[in-house]
Amino acid sequence: MIVAERPDARPAPADEPADERAALFARLRDLRAKFPTIVSSNYDVSDTCNLSCEGCLYFSGINYTKLQGKRTVTEWERLFAAEAERGINFGYFAGAEPSLVPGILRAASRHLRTGMIATNGIKRIPEDIRYRIHVSLWGDEAASRELRGADNGPKALRNYQGDDRAIAVYTISRRNIDQIVPVSRMCADHGVPITFNYFSPTDDYQARLAGSVTSESDYFHASSSEDNLALTPADLLRAHEAIAEARSRHPDAIWYSLDYDRWITSGEPLYRLDAEGIAIDCGNRVSPAHRHINADLTISTGKCCSPNIDCRECRAYLQGYATLLSRLRTFSKQPRDFRMWLDVWELWMRLFLLPEHRGEGAVR
């Protein structure tokens, strides 16, 4: 997953009113004093799952087939202790389905103070594991059954109703834009805040749409070249409008920035690509401390935490936030952009850190 280091780069100078510029810098200093420095790495703690999601980031590729077997909780604990020794204080816990290995998550919590667990929510993570929990939703009952093999939404929201660790993450695809408002209402009714992510196709998914890969897959069963999950510019505009409507109806439940949404869906290239199509300025790839640890405890040699994603089409929220936050010099040139950048930094802290980890006076 992404690295979200505390942004310490010196902002670029700009021509703007002195009072406004001073206020923005004062806010930046206040946030730096308030929020902890984040040094993160990503851990695929499980290589099994209880769903079969279309275009799965974990199984839509060949990397997982090279794993050398499962590791014990004791082996994972040694790794987390070593990670803490090298300065890691935040873990992104994913893989296939991390809720299936609570012992490993508990071992992590003994060494890494903060973290985020990406889960489908079907199995509740024990309350003593005090990490932020992101519960993935893909739409209403019909969409979830078609695209994931089961409707995880109602059970997930029951599991995490009233749980201050939990946030629903709605992955937007071409097929579920019209469900954004009703699913947001469902989350609000359960007292679970919701944020948004955009479906980002993997290389494998793209190849299957193009017909260059024809083998059967449990993770490509509901798409075709004519009807699939990939988003067009018109889809992105519809999604933005639906998010805005949901936010107007349920302002307390929607944890998301419409300014960030405009940036991530603008149509302008988000990344500079090398000759092989790999992003060279993705925020997930510019931190020397960040590692991606596979389920067998080997270090991934993939390009990033989601090595199967096509960088040209990547709008994934973890990578998107990391990239925006790594570009302080760019965003500090104009007051409006600087304010948006600061807002997104506060939003990141709210989305990824529990209240007790955000410091006195942090965003509630």
Higher pLDDT, 268 or 242: 242
- Counting every residue written for the chain, the total comes to 364
Per residue in 217-251, pLDDT (tens digit) is 999 999 999 999 999 999 999 999 999 999 999 99
- What is the reported pTM? 0.91
Residue 173 located in a structural domain: yes
Residue 6 located in a structural domain: no
Q: Determine the pLDDT at residue 14.
A: 52
Per residue in 139-181, pLDDT (tens digit) is 999 999 999 999 999 999 999 999 999 999 999 999 999 999 9
Please list the helix, strand and coil fractions of the chain in percent, rounded to the nearest 5, in that order.
40, 10, 50
Q: Determine the pLDDT at residue 6.
A: 41
Spatial distance between the Cα atoms of 136 and 133, rounded to a whole number of angstroms: 10
Residue 326 located in a structural domain: yes
CATH code of the domain covering residue 176? 3.20.20.70
Residue 227 located in a structural domain: yes
**Contact in structure between 316 and 309 (CB atoms under 8 Å):** yes
Maximum C-alpha span of the chain: 62
Give the mean model confidence (pLDDT) for residues 332-349: 95
Per residue in 28-49, pLDDT (tens digit) is 999 998 887 899 999 999 999 9
> Average pLDDT of the chain?
90
Higher pLDDT, 342 or 312: 342
Higher pLDDT, 318 or 8: 318
Residue 12, pLDDT > 90, answer: no
Residue 8, pLDDT > 60, answer: no
Per residue in 193-220, pLDDT (tens digit) is 999 999 999 989 999 999 999 999 999 9
Residue 90 located in a structural domain: yes
The parent domain of residue 55 ranges over: 18-356
Residue 9 located in a structural domain: no
Spatial distance between the Cα atoms of 5 and 33, rounded to a whole number of angstroms: 14
Q: Determine the pLDDT at residue 7.
A: 46
Q: Determine the pLDDT at residue 268.
A: 86
Q: Determine the pLDDT at residue 364.
A: 29
CA-wise closest residue to 357 among 165, 178, 105, 180: 165
Share of the chain above pLDDT 70, in %: 91
Number of structural domains in the chain: 1
Residue 7 located in a structural domain: no
CA-wise closest residue to 328 among 1, 2, 4: 4
Per residue in 54-81, pLDDT (tens digit) is 999 888 765 666 677 789 999 999 999 9
CA-wise closest residue to 286 among 263, 265, 304, 312: 304
Q: In terms of C-beta distances under 8 Å and separation of at least 24 residues, what long-range contacts does 21-30 make, across chains too?
A: 21/335, 24/332, 24/335, 24/338, 24/339, 24/342, 27/342, 28/342
Residue 13 located in a structural domain: no
Those residues with Cβ within 8 angstroms of residue 301's Cβ, 6 or more apart along the chain or in another chain: none
